Structure 1
Amino acid sequence: MSSAQIAAERIAQLRSEIDTHNYRYYVLDEPSVPDSEYDRLFIKLKELENEHPELITPESPTQRVGGEALAAFGQVRHDVPMLSLGNAFEDKDLLDFDRRVRKGLGFSVSTNVEVEYSCEPKLDGLAVSLLYENGQLVRGATRGDGTIGEDISANVRTVRNIPLRLHGNGWPALLEVRGEIYMPKSGFEALNARQLETGSKTFANPRNAAAGSLRQLDPKITAARPLELCVYGVGRSDGVLPDTHGGILQALKSWGLPISRELVLAKGIEACRNYFQKIGARRDELPYEIDGVVFKVNSVVQQRELGFRAREPHWAIAHKFPAREEVTELIGVEFQVGRTGAITPVARLKPVQVAGVVVSNASLHNMDEVARLGVMIGDTVIVRRAGDVIPQILGVITERRPVDACAVAVPLHCPVCGSVVERTRLVKRGKGKETFSQGAIYRCVGRLTCQAQLKQAIIHFVSRRAMDIDGLGEKSVEQLVDKGLLHSPADLYILTYEQIVLLEGFADLSSRNLLEAIENSKSSSLARFIYALGIPDVGEETAKLLVRALGSLQRVGMALPEVLTWLPEIGLEVAHEIHHFFEDEHNQKVIENLLERGVVFGEAGDLHPEFAGYASLAELLDKLDIPFVAATGAKNLAERFGSLEAIIQADWLDLSAMKGLSEKARQSVRAFFGDAANVVRARAIEEQLRAFGMHWESEKGQAVGLPLAGQAWVLTGTLESMSREIAKEALEALGAKVAGSVSAKTTCVVAGPGAGSKLVKASELGLQILDEAAFLARLHELAG
């Protein structure tokens, strides 16, 4: 077979493969390979076609843009084709682009004339065309294959930041604008959480979520999705527009169309390279996903002079970031043991470079995730790495599965201590009964006799946000456990100089510094101490709430689950975790040893006034989960009898005489309190409410002294004078609750540089917004 025939066969194979990927990506919104793999195939095809130009056909993917329009939507023909962009993957590619631009404009190699470029992030969404006639939005369409797209007019009307009528004046009577509809990161996470709750399919990434949302036949579904538009140019216009790309975008902005907040003009290619580096460094802080930067010659006259090639303009290029998704082989699965005994599968991968880092391990989270992915050892998998996030497997390329692939199996015994591995049970508590189902987590039952759990528990205990013992890193903790010097966190406080100085990496000064840090950690806050204990599902915020509400370790330790659920944001499952932790004899001994060895903390002592007299009899009855007695029935019982004891003692005649309670509910009340165990439980809850001062007969408290008490604040963007953590602590010290999302209940939003969707939502809701300077002034005012 001749070399031309071999090339023709390879070209045909690549075209077929790329067409399949285009269909899955653009039409089904179900890509089977990451962008990096697609780009490699596309580059290889272009190289072969360049070597054999006689084999280029109009149907080649290199001569087209995107995929076919869906038949479910009407078709729209673009009068001006919606072209794709050429890609730069390395610094050299960008320099070559600038060289071609300068040559195309007639600048000699020796001249110092620099081209002005517009620079903006390349959003990872769905390209759309919006047509305005006399200022009114009349049509929305997808890019499709660049010539014919899908009519999605009804759906684009639901995207909140798309103006249905242009603002201001001076816009052309006919104006077609082009942009990217995308889904912000926060909206994507919330959407996938809702999809999981309803048992619906989750989306692989924000781009797929945006595309899938815009291609809904029911616009109500699109309207419920958190989509946004960013305009990047104009397709056609019957009016006069500014003579620069930047000027056109500013005009579009004045007419109410959103453009990138990161738009910058750069003189010369060096300035473009600097912009690329700066945006790359901020990539993870941005509220939306980007996969590179788009550079365009700013002068419209120069754009026309440079012209187009088959599928892309000569005057623009997309400089891609290193791929965050790559394809590699799963060569094995190991199981790690966490602080709570959870057995976590970790994928061992054939090393591959992802986002500039060689990746050989990836998280598989739990066995439910393994089952969801359908992953087997030997599979070809898609792995993703974003910022400092642990690499994770996104999917399996099943068509590449080898015949000898084998299933992932959970070990029967702990790989560290040999204890039995058990699958957790999920408890669902309802009216008068508990139902059990299998959980996703497998757990080693060895607890602190398992060195892996002991090491992780101590690493958590000494961490900065917990007891903050500086100088005691993971390796040092591992040495101390391995040498038998630590059997619980309390043993830290009986370590000696002679024991520490013999550890690898320690000398005289570092040993004395560590002993000093351990001694200093004895004086802590109660919230830090509770967080350091490592109670399952109890993070920093929950620990702070427990201390603020109950005021003492004694109350927290003895609190019944039902009493804990009166505290905001503590559900019954977390309440049971807290209660079980403090009931455990081993945990009690560890806490006792910590206190005996000098750990002290400031306690508020008294119940917070906010919770004094907080409970009601009706709420208590509702929390007892009496079958067939809902909140209204509980309220009626409380109003009729006035006390828990009166309800317990009520006979059939007393119950039958009351209104607002069905026959079935009356029978259920008698049967419930006819069980001695239920009576003991109900009385215990009421007794504790009295002891804590939360009982409805207790004197009501009044919270004073904190100027921001009851207010909800949100921090967004980057603060330059302090970290977000310090700002949060400052607000909490003044009584505010710092939330992660903006709602109508938000009191104030602090917006630093780079603020995105939260700032937009706050503006839409008409909330108070402070920049960093105003925020600092407010803190100073309140502190004074």
Structure 2
Amino acid sequence: MVPVSDNQPEQTENTDLRRQWNELAEEVRSHREAYYNGEPSIPDADFDKLFQSLLRLEEQHPELAVPDSPTMEVGAPAPEESTFANVEHLQRLMSLDNVFDDDELAEWLERTPADAYLTELKVDGVSIDLVYRDGALERAATRGDGRVGEDVTANVRVIEDIPHQLSGEPPALIEVRGEIYIRPEDFPDINAQRVESGKPAFANPRNTAAGGLRQKNTADVRKRRLHFVAHGIGAREGFTPATQHEAYEALASWGLPTSRYTDLVTTAAEVRDKVRYWAEHRHDADFEMDGVVVKVNSLAEQRGHGSTSRAPRWAIAYKYPPEEVTTRLRNILVNVGRTGRVTPFAVMEPVFVSGSTVSMATLHNQTEVQRKGVLIGDTVVVRKAGEIIPEVLGPVVEKRDGTEQEFVFPTQCPACGATLAPQKEGDADWRCPNTRFCPAQLTARLTYLAGRGAFDIEALGEKGARDLIRSGVLEDESSLFDLDREKLTRTSVYTTKSGKVNATGEKLLEHLETARNTDLWRVLVALSIRHVGPTAARALASRYGSMETLRAAPVEDLADTDGVGMIIAESFTEWFSVDWHAQLAEAWAASGVTMADDRSDRAEQTLEGITVVVTGSLENFTRDGAKEAILARGGKASGSVSKRTDYVVVGENAGSKEDKARELGLRILTEAEFETLLENGSV
């Protein structure tokens, strides 16, 4: 008989909590990355719910709040494949905490007393950081992760609102924060011109503005009719305003556009009045807005309130409920995702809401369709949550005329015909079990492994993946690295009209050749093992060095790897227990894909077991370069300071992390000392 441990229920509970945290954190990271660097797939309001759920989970179980939790992060790192250079902000751009109702606002006002507040409209645009030196525009950068963004100076110079030279008597240095946006009245015209040129319409103004900043041709930037409004300051020299309001007046005097909807108030009651007013007048502004930002006016009082790891305590964003409209539900169809999850979505009569016309909306899963009680043919209430992806809230029952039909969830996968079922008892989601050959799942997996966090195969997108499958060139991803020109001639995406391999096809073959010689951690990510993202993959590859050693390692041994744990270790082991999964890795190996890192030139592991935080600007290291230097020597590069931090490397404009390190009595290093640490493992 196997003895039962007295603390087995507690261990099970802890494992379940950790699994819940991992899944929620992974989802938050994924959606945050899509919001800042791609196309969001869920509404802003839904992301807010996910983020708030993660916050509550960590508040209830503080042991889950690890330093690299998404709740500690700001924005998202600049895309690795970006054609724009990465630049470090002079002073960190922070995020804002949110409140969603009057009670939460009242609680914030009670714990954040001030002589005066500023109320500002929360612009639904794209954050930008402008650096003016001696009055001249020196640099413009996107938010990125708050410390490092993309240099988009050339594109910003064609935005008419942004002066190249400040007027009056500007200071020696001023870092201006603001928002790039598209006016609601301009957006329909921009879309009309785009459709006339044979291109699809843009989804919404915010994404259109974000895409505009990343155009390679400044002429294309001009077509987006971008505007700018300043809403903050960062680093400065020769400028010492006493209040936020004084700073805004100075910015305006130098020729920078500031919001005419900013009001100076002195009581909490006046703050609430402004919030209520703009809830009724949200379409009166010159830009899309989704809330009101409240800031303590005095800069001295701001410093007194301080900041968390990601947001100032002296400011808060009151976010309004998403807008709602009604339209007719024409049909309900389903989509199959990368993991086999089958998701119903609504096909509606096009309706204009929150700045754009929508014709499809999410319905989440079949249980949700039943819970909401919607029928095909219903008049439904649609919410444009977060101004991004619409959601069907429910039917307008009194408008039914008897012609409506109940939605019947399919029993077979629409992509491959396999019988659908929940993966395990109690699951709300139904999945397609044909994980290996289902065209929809395979298309999604191919697109994923081609991403920059895996093989980084630029020429393999969703359209190309679908073509490779449809043409029969690929049965699954195991033969991806066996593609050649002869096989590509059977496709349409990768060939010319005469049937020869085109430039995209040649690029695909070139990228596949490069991908064969990538790092082991990228191969691990490309395998689509659940929970094994770049962080865990790096840790496993660094410790074991080869796929063979990894597969032979006991699950307990894998779990002991720093940053892995039992959930990821079990997921890794279970994945390889599936025959075709193991055959996939072996097929890649046979095709020349590297399955072991070359450790002949591997840096000495001087930092094994050591956690290092780098803050501020270093002279000889970029932000990513410093992180790579730490990881390459076996250390952990953390993004936040805690009692578990061994060293904090401080550069120029270090900010709050240096303050926290001193409060905790941690060892603080200069850049020269950091270089000594990298070499010797001690200082």
Work out which structure has the larger RCO, using CA pairs closer than 8 Å and 6 or more positions apart in sequence.
2
Q: Work out which of the two has the higher radius of gyration on C-alpha atoms and give 1 or 2.
A: 1
